[in-house]
Amino acid sequence: MAWNLFRKVRKKYKFNTQLQGHLEYPIPHSFVLSLTSDCNLTCDHCYARVYNEIEVLPRKVLEVILKQASSLGCFFFVLTGGEPMLYPDLLDILSHHSDSLFILITNGTMLTDDVVKKLSRLPHIIPVVSLEGGLEDTDKRRGVGTYNRVISAFESLQKNKILYGFSITVTSDNVEQLQKEDVFCEKYPYGARLGCFIEYIPTGRTPNVRLCLSPAQRNSFRQWFLKLKERTNTYLIHFPGDEELMDSCREAGKGFVHINPAGYIESCALLPSSKYNVAETSLEVCLKNSYLDSQQCSHAYEALENHPCMSHR
């Protein structure tokens, strides 16, 4: 099954590469789709909380995005929210797109045994479970009891031999604890084969600048991360340190784009836009117009010395 997935994805990649040579604008290799702003948790400072009302990307629009993206040779999608597992019939929808690779960013609390069994039959969907590191830091931000539910999800994923990952938001509160490598190697990476460390960016309804890493903390963490990467069998990514993997944010729409729950294309999930909507215009036209606008990052906090945004460096 894994080889069959690789063959399908490789075919689309070759087509995308050929298509790029005939277009005056790039086709992003990665799409970040925020399926809903709704979530069963209320994590502090979540960027999805910028929405005043719950937004859900209509199923018809999601199907159009996947179909039109496929026609452009696109094959890599990051699904997020809110909590994407709240999206109705999500796994059933994705089961019909086995020629694409989906990274499912989830808080893990809805990965029941039944859901995990279904995922075991869908190797093109890779769940990546979010947490803050250990029990204390995770429950502090995500709610008491969340850590144990997440660990239970990891155990179920491992038991069913599913390829999965973890995602940790790095803040001034947990950065020192994470760097205790003996603790990290003993408790983490939860049996995962993919790991993401994402530095906190002040956003949402209650942004907290204090949680940003200082320049010294960022440098120390980066050096620790690079050493850890050499010593573990897990594929690790650090943002913003590894932004080149996404072609950086400096040229909006080149490496990746974000589509919010209302259907609007954005250069970044932290830069709301209401200009080009895939529910009203074809994906190809939206991508072209969005890129030609040459939108640059103008996050409200990017003037801060310790702002972690990739385009700020």
Question: What domain range includes position 55?
Answer: 31-312
Asked whether residue 21 is domain-assigned, the answer is no
Can you give the pLDDT at residue 243?
63
DSSP 214: P
List C-alpha distances in Å: 279 to 47, 53, 100, 247, 282: 23, 19, 21, 27, 8
Per-residue pLDDT of the chain (313 residues; tens, 9 = 90+): 566 766 777 787 777 777 777 787 888 878 999 999 999 998 877 766 566 688 999 999 999 999 999 988 888 999 998 999 999 999 999 999 998 999 999 999 999 999 999 999 999 999 999 999 888 889 998 999 999 999 999 999 999 999 999 999 999 999 998 888 666 666 667 889 999 999 998 876 678 889 999 999 999 999 999 988 888 888 999 988 776 555 444 444 566 789 999 999 987 777 777 789 999 999 999 988 887 775 454 555 554 555 555 444 4
Task: Report the alpha-carbon distance of residue 283 to residue 303 in Å, rounded.
Answer: 33
- Which tokens belong to 146? 């969340």
Which CATH number fits the domain that encloses residue 115? 3.20.20.70
What is the tally of structural domains in the chain?
1
Can you give the pLDDT at residue 305?
52
Asked whether residue 297 is domain-assigned, the answer is yes
Ranges assigned E (strand) in the chain? 30-34, 76-80, 101-106, 125-131, 165-170, 194-199, 235-239, 256-259, 265-266
Asked whether residue 17 is domain-assigned, the answer is no
Asked whether residue 18 is domain-assigned, the answer is no
Asked whether residue 5 is domain-assigned, the answer is no
Task: Report the alpha-carbon distance of residue 296 to residue 65 in Å, rounded.
Answer: 24
Can you give the pLDDT at residue 1?
55
Pairing of strands 125-131, 256-259: unpaired
Can you give the pLDDT at residue 310?
46
φ/ψ bin of 193: left (φ > 0), alpha (ψ from -120 to 50), beta (otherwise):
alpha
Asked whether residue 11 is domain-assigned, the answer is no
Please state the pTM of the whole predicted model: 0.88
Please tell me whether residue 236 adopts helix, strand or coil conformation.
strand
Asked whether residue 9 is domain-assigned, the answer is no
Q: CA 152: distance to chain centroid? A: 22
**Closest Cα to residue 300, out of 272, 266, 279?**
272
Q: CA 67: distance to chain centroid? A: 21
- Which tokens belong to 186? 């003993």
Asked whether residue 26 is domain-assigned, the answer is no
Asked if 198 and 160 touch (Cβ cutoff 8 Å), the reply is no
